[in-house]
Amino acid sequence: MRRLRIPTFSTCAASALVALLVAGPGAAGPTSSITGNAIYRLAGNGDTLWMVTGNGLNFTIASTGTLRWWGYETDKVLSYQWYGGIHTPLAFGDTRALTCLLPPDNSSEANKLWVFDHRSGAFGSFSLAWNRGNLADSLPDSAKNDIYFDAYDAAWTPGYFWVACLQGGLVRIRAADAAPGGTVPATVFYPGVDTGYPLQDFPPQGFADYPDSNREVAGVTSWADSAGGPLLALRTPHRVWTFSPADAAWDTLANALADEAGNVDTRRSIRQFVRLFADSDTARRALYAAVDTTRADDTVGSALVRYDAGSRRWLPVGSGRTTALTFGNGDTAYAVVSGDLAAMQTGATLRRMAGLSDAIDARMVQADESVLRPSVNDVLCVPHAPDSSLLWIASNDGLYYSRAERQDEETGTAFTRASRAPKLAQGLRKTYFVPTILSPDAGPGYFAYNLEKKARVTITVYDWNMDFVKTVIKDRAREAGGSRPDGRSTVKKEDTWDGTDQNGKPVAPGVYYYKILSSERERAMGKIVVAR
Amino acid sequence: MPGTSGFPRWPIRLGSRIVVPAFVAAFLLSGAAAAYPGGDADAYLRAPVGATAQAMGGAGAALPATCLSLWNPAALAALPLSTKQFSIGTGLRSMGRLDGNAALEFRIPTRIGVGIAALYRGDPVVDIYDIDEVNLGRASYSTITSKLAVSYLFSRALSMGVGVGVFYQNLPAFGYDGIENAWSFSIGGIDAGAQYRLRDTWTMALVVQNLNIVTDWQFAAFFGSANQMSAATLPASITLASNFQGALLGAPLVWACDVRGYVIDGTLKPLDHASAVIDNGFEWRRWSSFYLRCGLSDLTLDGELLRDAPSYFDHFWIGIDAGFMADLSRIARGLRLNYGISLGKAWSGVDQQIDVQYSF
C-alpha cells in the first residue's frame, strides 16, 4: 500500500509561540476523529491540512506517512449560503488556522474569530471590537445599525491574518497577537485609503463617503506580486482590488469583460465579482474570478474569468457557477462548478474534463451508498512531488483525497474517503434514525443499525399510538456490521424513511417509533420525530 | 310490546341486530384507498384515558369511570345527583411514552352535569442525532388536551351533552442553530354525545368527538424548517358504546363494548382511510371492594380485510388487558384506586395506567 507522503515545508516558525488558553464556552476537544461529515472549506500547505466541518475544525499532519486527525468540536462555524455554495472563512499559515464561529445568540456584532495552533494544541477565541460610536453623527440610526464587521473571508501572509469585514474593510491581525477572551489589536485598511487605522479608531471622524456599499470587502485571497512577494487580492461588489501589505498600497483592476477574441464584450458585462482565486505559481501567476454577468436584455449568467494585466480585461475561461478553484502541478486545475467536481486544463480556456469528474462522482456514490449524490463544497491541491499533487475534495458527505494525481486522471478510482462514522455496537444494542428529526427541507433519513449476524431484516414504523404506519423493508438480507467498512449493517439506499405511510401519504407531525427485526431474533426499537 | 324491564323491546333489537352490524359493515366496506390508520394527527389521542378503560380493553364511552369530559359529555348528567368526583392518574407506556390525567365532574341539580378534564401525553426522552450522527442531546414531545363539557338530563333514560377542547402540542424541530421547538395551540374540537339507558343494566351511547380542530404549527425562530410544517386536521371519531351488566357466578359482570370509527375529519370531509376499532372489556364485581377487570382491545377493522386479507393480518393486533379497582373507603370515604395494564401494541412492551378517584 502506498504510503501517503507529503513533503514537509520549511515553514516560517512563529517569532513567538502564542500560548493560547483553552477556549471558553463553545469548544470542546481536541478529538481524534473527524468532527463532522459535512465539510465546507479546506486550507493548508505542506504537511498540514485544515478543514471546517459543520461541527468544528479538523486538521491533519501527514508527514508521518499516515493520516491522523486532530480536531475541535465548536459552536457552529459561520457559513454563508451564497452563490449556490457555502462560503466559510478559513485561513491557515505557519502553525495556526483562523475561522469565524457563529455565536450562540446569533448576533453578528458578537462574531468571534477563533484561532487554533496545531503545534501547541491550544485554541481560543477573540472578538473584533470596534467602536460604533465612531460613526458620524450625521448618519441616521437605521444606517448605523446596518453596519457590521462580519468576518466574511480570511487569508494569510507570513505573520498576519487578513480578514475581509464588509464595511469594516480589510482587517489585519498579527498572528502573534491572537489570544483568547478579549480583544486583539487590529488594523483596518479601507479600499483606496493608503493608511491603516487602529480598529478602535475606525472609522475616523470626517471619513468621507462612509459607509460605501461599493467598498464592502467581502472576499480576500493571498496572491503574489511579480517579485514573488505577498500580495492580497480583494473583492468588493463591483471591483477587484489588490493590496500590498508592504506599503499599504491599493490598486484596482479594471472590470471590463472580454469576449472570446479578447476584445471588450459588447453583449455582456460583469455585474458582480463573487469569488476570487489566485494562482501564485511563479510560472503561471494568475488571478481568476467567479462573476455574475448581465446581458443587454438583463438576463443574468455566471462565468469564470481570468485577469489579463496587459489588456486590463477579464478573459472568459469557463462558464457555470465556480465556487472553488485550485491549481495542481503542470497545467491541471480542479474546480467546483455548481456543486460538481471538474478537472480542467489551465491555459487560455478551462474546460470540464467529464471523464474524471464523472468517475469521481461515481466513486462518491459508491463509497457512501447515499440516496442523494453528495455535492462538493471545496477542493484543494497540495503539491506533492515534482510531477504530482495531492488533491483533497470537501463534500457534504465526507472528505475525499487522491493518492496519485496521474492515476486519478486515468482511472478516477484512486480517491479514498475519510469520514466520521461513529461506531455502533453489534447486536442492535444501539440504533437511531439519522437525522432523528425529519424536516420539510431535508430528504429521507436512514436507520443506523448493526447486526450481530447476517440476517434478513424487517423495519416497520408506528405512530404514537403504536398503530402501523409503514413497512420500510421486509425480509431484506443484511450483513453483520462487523464485516462492512463502515461498521454497520445499514444499506442507506434502502433503509430510509421519508415520513410517508404505506399509501405514500405524508404522516402528521409527531413522534414515531420504528422496530427493526432480524431473522436471527435480534430486535430493536427507536424513535423518529416528524416535523414537516 | 314492552320488555321485561318495562322498556320497549324494539331498541334492543334495533341496537344489537341492526345498528351495530351496520356500523361495523360500514367500516369494512368503506374507503376506496388502502387502509392502515397510522400516522394521523390524533394518534396521541387514540389510546384509552384512565386506568379503568386501560384494564377494560379501552372501552368505556357508555359509562366512563373517570375523565368523563374526555370520553362522553352526555355521561355527566347521568352521574348520581349531588355527585362530585375528582380523579387524577398517570400512565407509563412502552418506549417511554407518558400519560397524565386529571378531571373534576359534578352535577348541578337537577338535570345538569358539568365536567372538566385535562390530559397530558408525550414522550419526554427523545435522543436527537443530526445528519452527521452527532448526538445533539435529548428533546421531548408533549401534548396537553383539555376539555370542558356540559350535559343535560332530558329524562331518566336520555341525556345529551357537548364539550369543547383546547389542544396544545410541542415538538422538537431543527432550527437555524440547533434544536428549537415547534408548537401548535388550537381551541375547538367540539364533542357531542347522547346516552340512552335502555334498561337499568344496559346503557348505550353515541359520541362524536374532535369536530373542527386543526393543528397549525408555529416555530420559535424566524429561520427554521418547522416554518414549513403542514397544518393538520384531526380526524373526528364516532363511537357507538354499550355498557351491559350481567352476572357471572352470582356476581355482577359488566361488559363494555365500544366501536369507534374514523370516517370523517373534523371538517366533515371523508378520510381516505376509514377504519373502526372495537374494544371489549369486562369488570367482575366479585367483591364489593375489589373488582377484577380484563379486556381485548384494538381490534381494527377496515377495508383491507376484504381487499387484501394477507396484508391485513400482517399487521393485525389485538390487545390483552387486565387490571383492578380497589375501594379505599377505609382510608377515605369515596376513594378508589384503579390500575390497568396492557400488552403494548407491536410487541413494544407494556402500557400501564393508575389513577385515584374520589367521590364526595
* pLDDT tens digits, one per residue of A49-67: 888 887 666 766 654 345 6
CB within 8 Å: A501 and B38: yes
Smallest CA–CA separation between A424 and chain B, in Å? 11
**Burial class, B170, CB count within 10 angstroms (exposed 0-12 / middle 13-18 / buried 19+):** middle
Nearest CA-CA distance, residue A512 and chain B, Å: 8
B173 vs A529: CB contact, 8 Å cut-off? yes
- At residue A234, does pLDDT exceed 50? yes
Q: Could B133 and A422 be called an inter-chain contact, meaning their C-beta atoms sit closer than 8 Å?
A: yes
DSSP state of A406: H
Residue B232 to residue A509, Cβ atoms within 8 A:
yes
Contact A529 B172 (CB under 8 A): yes
B217 has a chain A CB within 8 A of its CB: yes
pLDDT digit string, tens, across residues A291-331: 999 998 888 999 999 999 888 999 998 888 888 998 877 67
Distance to chain B for A242, nearest Cα, Å = 36
d(CA A395, CA A38): 6
Condensed to tens digits (0 to 9), the pLDDT of residues A438-449 reads 987 678 999 999
Query: What whole-number percentage of chain B has pLDDT above 90?
Result: 61
pLDDT score of B167 = 95
Q: Which B residues, 126 through 165, put their C-beta within 8 Å of a C-beta on chain A?
A: 126-134, 139, 141
Confidence (pLDDT) at A496: 95
* A455 vs A336, residue with greater confidence: A455
Lowest average pLDDT, out of A167-176, A201-210, B91-100, B144-153, goes to: A201-210
Which residue in B42, B132, B135, B233 has the most chain A C-beta atoms within 10 A of its own C-beta, making it the best mutation to test that interface?
B132
Going by C-alpha positions, the residue among B149, B152, B189 that lies closest to residue B168 is B189
Residue of A102, A372, A464, A530 to mutate, interface with B, max B Cβ within 10 Å: A464
**Inter-chain residue contact A441 with B225, CB threshold 8 Å:** yes
Mean pLDDT (chain B, rounded): 86
- Distance from C-alpha of A516 to C-alpha of A512, rounded to nearest angstrom: 14
The nearest alpha carbon in chain B to A449 belongs to B133
Binding-face residues of B in 20-39 toward A, CB within 8 A: 33-34, 36-39
Q: Which of A106, A368, A437, A497 best probes binding to B when mutated, by most B CB atoms within 10 angstroms?
A: A437
Residue A403 has pLDDT above 70, yes or no: no
CB contact under 8 A, A532 and B228: yes
- For the stretch A338-396, pLDDT in tens is 777 777 777 656 666 666 667 667 666 665 555 456 678 888 887 666 666 678 888 87
Using a CB-CB cut-off of 8 Å, the residues of chain B touching A432 are 127, 129, 133
**B:269-328 residues touching chain A, CB 8 A cutoff:** 272-273, 300, 314-315, 317
> What is the mean pLDDT of the segment spanning A162-175?
89
Local structure of residue A16 (DSSP, 8 states) = S
This prediction's pTM: 0.71
Inter-chain residue contact B134 with A510, CB threshold 8 Å:
no
The verdict on a CB contact (< 8 Å) between B228 and A440 is yes
Separation between Cα atoms, residue A358 and residue A364, nearest integer Å: 10
**Alpha carbons B7 and B9: distance in angstroms, whole number:** 6
Predicted local confidence at residue A22, as pLDDT: 31
Contacts of B36 in chain A (CB under 8 A): 467-470, 501-503
CA A287 – CA B218 distance, rounded (Å) = 48
Distance CA A325, CA A337 (A): 9
DSSP state of A142: H
| pLDDT at residue B225 greater than cutoff 70 | no
Identity (one letter) of the amino acid at A174? R
Q: Which of A466, A507, A522, A525 to mutate to test the interface with B (most CBs of B within 10 A)?
A: A466
Please write the tens of the pLDDT for every residue from B310-356.
777 777 788 899 999 999 999 999 999 999 999 988 889 999 999 99
Host H or E run for residue A277? strand A268-279
Q: Do A529 and B171 touch (CB under 8 A)?
A: yes
Highest mean predicted confidence (pLDDT) among A75-79, A162-166, B24-28, B93-97: B93-97
**Residue-wise pLDDT tens digits, B38-70:** 899 999 999 999 999 999 999 999 999 999 999
Closest-CA distance, B27 to chain A, in angstroms, reads 17
**Phi then psi dihedrals of residue A141, to 5 deg:** -60, -35
- The dihedral region occupied by B297, where left means phi > 0, alpha psi between -120 and 50, and beta the remainder, is beta
Comparing B217 with A28, the larger pLDDT belongs to: B217
Query: Any idea which of A201-215, A400-414, B186-200 has the lowest mean pLDDT?
Result: A400-414
Q: Which of A146, A149, A246, A233 is nearest to A188 (CA)?
A: A149
* pLDDT tens digits, one per residue of B293-314: 999 998 888 777 777 777 777 7
Cα A250 from chain centroid (whole Å): 28
Q: How far is B129 from chain A (nearest CA, A)?
A: 5
Cβ separation A529–B225 shorter than 8 A: no
Nearest CA in chain B to A419: B132
Q: How far is CA A67 from the centre of its chain?
A: 20
Count contacts between A and B (CB, < 8 Å). 181
Determine whether the interchain pair A525/B348 forms a contact, defined as Cβ–Cβ distance below 8 Å: yes
Find chain B residues with C-beta within 8 A of A106's C-beta: 176-177
Across the interface, of B131, B314, B344, the residue whose CB is closest to A466 is B344
Q: Which residues contact B74 (CB under 8 A, 6 or more apart)?
A: B151, B159, B160, B161, B193, B194, B195, B205, B207
